[in-house]
Amino acid sequence: MLLGVDTGGTFTDFVHFSASGLRFHKVLSTPDDPSRAIEQGIRELGLTASALHLVHGSTVATNAILERKGVRTLFVTHRGLEDMLTIGRQTRPELYELCPQPLSPLVERKDCFGISGRVDAAGDVQQAINPADLHHLAAIAADYDAVAVCLLFSFLNPEHERQVSQALSDKLFVSLSNETLAEFREFERGATTFLNAYIGPLVQSYLKRLESSLNPKHLFVMHSAGGVMSAEMAGLQAVKLVLSGPAGGLVAAKEVGLQLGESNLLTFDMGGTSTDVALICGEAGITTEGQVGGIPVAVPMLDIHTIGAGGGSLAWLDEAGLPQVGPESAGAKPGPVCYGLGGTQVTVTDANLLLGRIPASAQMAGFMSLDLQMAQETFSRFGEKLGISAQTAAEAVIEIAEEHMAGALRVVSVQRGFDPAEFALLSFGGAGGLHACSLAEKLSMRRVIVPLASGAFSALGMLAGRQQTELSVSRRMQLNDDSTILELSSIFNRLEGEAKVQMQGLSLSFERRVDMSYLGQGFQLRVSVENDDLDALSQRFEAAHQQAYGHTLERPVEIVTVRITAFVERPELDFPAVPVEACATQAEAVLEVYGAGSVPLFRRADLRPGHNWHGPALVLEDTATLWLPVGWSMQVSKYGHLLLEKSGVC
């Protein structure tokens, strides 16, 4: 009795797996309290919560950061460094903007406390903390809900941070940088530690409320690195949940790739509010350079690029009178105009409906009727402002949105030295199939995969995630130093011991990696450690440098940060084969699609392995819609995945 739940900005998706197979379901999200949508979905699926092993992808952490609605948090650092988080890196997101809009500070100066004491770059204590400072801090902290502590070189010697923690009340949520992110770079470490404290009490409260109301047999939460953690651990390490939902899609994508023998994938996840894209080249990439709302989040997370372009993205006119799409979204309420819930501004979903790519008879998410006339009237008014027809305006909205999404796919492929033509596009999300073929053509890609449960694919990935944790520590070690092997082995053994304690005696496997660079470089590349051969490690680094930057250097190589991933082995996600029926699949209806004429409509549930069709065609399911244009063919795989291929020249 496994249930995967992915809470999105517009819909909450459910995938239920039991002895009788897979079931999929959607309900409208309830942003004010996501647990209400989860309770509704479990009730509509006819499930008993107490019997469920529930894995949840949550947006609570992300939304609290984006909306700046965390708890009142005190930031503690060294005296003289109180403005660390405000000054940041002094980078300008818009280099040539003459009148840039300043970002509001992450933390106000009055909410920062400077303390005495100092540890040097060797980890040695140069100055002890004054006990009077600790007493003063304890008195001030009583007015806050959480405290974030980030002291210099605490990743080398955490003693001073522990002294600060011991001086604070047990009632406070305390986040220490040596526990949250034991790595160098004070700004990134400080920001990540602050965010963990800022959202930690909210995540803890939400998960406790969810456990109390549902009382599931087990409750796990998907974290940003693609694994799952217990609800208790998620509350303590809340900053690791910022990509909780999107990570599930990437985990499921890798499983589908293994099943189909596809190791090179570009993933495209288009939901109602945003689009997430990523590249899988054998393995999904991991980054520690993520951001949420312009704030660095340096914990390991799957390398997913997100833009504000989804089915609910609003179309609008800029100051020059030109049409734009996104990043603002209609969300779950009022939603697109065609939902009939009060929306008045046209969206990408309204455009697809008006053009016939979403059938007017469709029940969105299996329960919501669509209002074609309302979409037509609203697009007519939008088109009048541009001097064009409603249909032409709808085409323009889709073209603009697709250019945004194609640009995102280029960021994770072309800009990193990969040719998209050598990859297959794996498309999922409720709106992904409506745009996948067009995006593939823009990137000269010939193959598209629309997997089983594409409309609830991230929720399916929740069930595929392995229980895991990541630990790291920064240490500079040159590869030409004879002592490096011994020191590296010692650090790995210590981190693995910490992981065993953290994961409470589970039987664990480990993956070892290091961040490396040429001596003096300010950026690093992550390389796997497979044995104690430093020459082989150096060669893997140089190959990675060549791939990323197109050259290598004649300079010494050093290790900067040591990392492990500790995980519990689990079987691969096992999709049940789709039963084969003797009769040929028949189109349910023939619809008129703008620019394509009469187009057959298929129900995905009726498609059987071996079924082939040449576009144009529409494939409809409760959780998603696929638009197969002219020049593309579709074949159904053994497990129900739709394999699309482009004929002729892209």
Cβ neighbours around 5 below 10 Å, total: 29
- The per-residue pLDDT for range 254-301, each reduced to its tens digit, is 989 999 999 999 999 998 878 899 999 988 888 998 888 788 999 999
Whole-number pLDDT of residue 133: 96
pLDDT value at position 156? 95
**For residues 513 and 565, what is the distance between their CA atoms, to the nearest angstrom?**
8
pLDDT tens digits for 305-323?
988 888 889 999 998 999 9
Two tokens, residue 459: 């929720």
What b/e readout covers 258-271, taking b as 16+ CB neighbours within 10 angstroms? Answer: ebbebeebbbbbbb
Q: Is residue 593 pLDDT above 70, yes or no? A: yes
Position of tokens 């309770």?
39
How confident is residue 581, by pLDDT bands cut at 50, 70 and 90? low
Portions of the chain given CATH number 3.40.50: 73-94+103-202
176 against 534, higher pLDDT: 176
Look at residue 167 in the predicted model and tell me its pLDDT.
96
73-78 and 112-115 beta bridge pairing: parallel
Instruction: Establish how many alpha carbons lie within 13 A of residue 7's alpha carbon, considering only the half-sphere containing its beta carbon.
Output: 26
Residues 496 and 564: beta-carbon distance below 8 Å = yes
pLDDT at position 327, please?
A: 86
CATH of domain 73-94+103-202: 3.40.50
Is pLDDT of 619 > 60?
A: yes
Tokens of 10: 């517009």
Helices (H), 445-533: 457-464, 484-502
Task: Measure the CA–CA gap between 647 and 40, rounded to whole angstroms.
Answer: 44
The residues near 108 (Cβ < 8 Å, ≥ 6 apart) are: none
Helices 186-214, 34-44: axis angle to 10 degrees equals 40
pLDDT of residue 130 exceeding 90, the answer is: yes
The whole-angstrom separation of Cα 454 and Cα 551 is 39
pLDDT value of position 445: 96
Instruction: Specify the pLDDT at position 219.
Output: 94
Highest mean pLDDT among 30-44, 85-99, 160-174: 160-174
Give 117-129 pLDDT, tens digit per residue. 999 999 999 999 9
Compute the mean pLDDT over every residue in the chain, rounded to the nearest whole number: 90
**What's the pLDDT tens digit per position in 131-146?**
999 999 999 999 999 9
The span from the first CA to the last CA of the chain, in angstroms, equals: 44
**What percentage of the chain's residues is helix, strand, coil (to nearest 5)?**
35, 30, 40
Predicted confidence (pLDDT) per residue in 425-482, tens digit: 999 988 899 999 999 999 999 999 999 888 888 898 898 889 999 999 999 999 887 7
Looking at per-residue confidence, does 605 or 43 come out higher?
Answer: 43
State mean pLDDT over 29-33: 86
* Distance, CA of 184 to chain centre: 24
pLDDT of residue 66: 82
Per-residue pLDDT tens for 368-422? 789 999 999 999 999 999 999 999 999 999 999 999 999 999 999 999 889 999 9
Average confidence (pLDDT) over 497-509 = 90
Give the domain 2-66+205-244 fold.
Answer: Nucleotidyltransferase; domain 5 (3.30.420)
Between 199 and 547, the more confident residue is 199
pLDDT value of position 43? 93
- What DSSP state is assigned to residue 49? G
Report H helices in 297-389: 348-354, 372-386
Confidence of residue 606 (pLDDT cuts 50, 70, 90): confident
pLDDT band with cut points at 50, 70 and 90 for residue 331: confident
User: Cα(536)–Cα(447) distance, rounded to whole angstroms?
Assistant: 35
Q: Give pLDDT, residue 573.
A: 65
CA dihedral 399, 358, 244, 77 (to 10 degrees): 40
Would the pLDDT of 54 be above 90? yes
What value does the mean pLDDT take over residues 505-514? 91
